[in-house]
Structure 1
Amino acid sequence: MMLDEIDRALLKALQLDAAQSTTRLGKKLGLSQPATWRRIKRLQEIGVIRGRQLRLDAEKLGFRVTVFLGIKLATKGRVSLEDFERAIGGIPEVQTVDHVLGLYDYRLRVVARDLADFERVLRRRIMTLPGVGDVEANVLLSEERRPGPL
């Protein structure tokens, strides 16, 4: 897959604001609106652009606590990774699930209204999942850097 400088500039602009119109993007890049649209469409078709997301402010929506959980499965032989991933996918407070290499098998990003709400989610929903063994929790104090453009 060959990306030229205009493709790269287009991707950078979309990462900063995916809601921009193709007309506005085209003006920034020196392209017509149809040419900009065709490039975006091509980047979607080849899988470089996988979608556009809306980012919400969790705190303003009442989720004031973010916790990163390290989860080590107790018995990998009895419970498949797919079973765990399917079960964890049903918990809306779990924002991300990363299968990782290291001390833990999974890293989760969990949001909750407060610490009592997090404890409820942890005890009643996460700890009861198949195969959950050791769990380590790290409460997010502040987030200094947001993911930027690639």
Structure 2
Amino acid sequence: MDLKINELDDLDIQILEILIKDSRTPYLEIARKCHVSGGTIHVRMKKMEDIGIIRGTKLILDNTKLGYDVCCFIGIFLDKASSFNKVLNQLDQIKEVVELHYTTGEYSIFIKVICKSISHLQDLLMNKIQVISEIQRTDTFISLSQLIDRNIQF
């Protein structure tokens, strides 16, 4: 079931706005802010999880504090479109690949990778990514800084 934003009511939007600011906000605090019961918040959260608006929670790490200082985006040219699933399966096994997008335009695949250093990036490119036979070539873009990182705003 695909629920669209215009099908959410004001309370659903209020709950999401609170959680976007701080996903660890307790249900009872959300209930106080929204002037409803804790049970109502629980029911609304369950509904939004069941229909897939809320897909769970995750831990967000500061990669640089873990020694991963280099963030790159790599555009990948495939030899043919039918190679996508095979390449996807191989890229999924590479721990440094943190995002993968199947795209239109110049690249078939656009990935985000996190590395410890430029030499780590070079090793990743030469020994893990560019050795995949279905990859024709790659273009690499090093991110100098990430200035915006957010969810959709209501």
TM-score range, shorter chain: over 0.9
The answer to whether 1:128 aligns with 2:134 is no
The answer to whether 1:137 aligns with 2:132 is no
The alignment of Structure 1 onto Structure 2 pairs a total of residues equal to 148
Task: Verify the 8 A CA contact 2:130 2:137 in the aligned structure 1.
Answer: no
Q: Give, in whole Å, the separation in 2 of the partners of 1:40 and 1:75.
A: 43
The answer to whether 1:51 aligns with 2:56 is yes
TM-score (norm 2): 0.90
Q: Give, in whole Å, the separation in 1 of the partners of 2:69 and 2:11.
A: 40
Q: Give, in whole Å, the separation in 1 of the partners of 2:89 and 2:22.
A: 32
Corresponding residue SS for 1:145: coil
Residues 111 and 4 (structure 1), Cα distance of their counterparts in 2 relative to 1, 3 Å cut: same
Q: Give, in whole Å, the separation in 2 of the partners of 1:73 and 1:44.
A: 36
Q: Give, in whole Å, the separation in 1 of the partners of 2:48 and 2:151.
A: 19
Corresponding residue SS for 1:139: strand
Q: Give, in whole Å, the separation in 2 of the partners of 1:104 and 1:87.
A: 17
Q: Which residue of 1 aligns with 2:97?
A: 94
Q: Which residue of 2 aligns with 1:21?
A: 26
Q: Give, in whole Å, the separation in 2 of the partners of 1:23 and 1:133.
A: 54
Deviations 1:90-125 (A, max 9, x none): 111000000000000011000000000111111111
User: How far apart are 1:43 and its partner, in Å?
Assistant: 0.7
Q: Which residue of 1 aligns with 2:40?
A: 35
Task: Verify the 8 A CA contact 1:83 1:130 in the aligned structure 2.
Answer: no
Q: Give, in whole Å, the separation in 2 of the partners of 1:48 and 1:145.
A: 22
TM-score (norm 1): 0.93
Give the RMSD, CA atoms, in angstroms.
1.3
Q: Which residue of 1 aligns with 2:117?
A: 114
Q: Give percent identity, aligned residues only.
A: 25
Q: Which residues of structure 2 form unaligned runs of 5+?
A: none
Of Structure 1 and Structure 2, the greater helix share is in: 2
Runs of 4+ in 1 over 4 A off after TM superposition: none
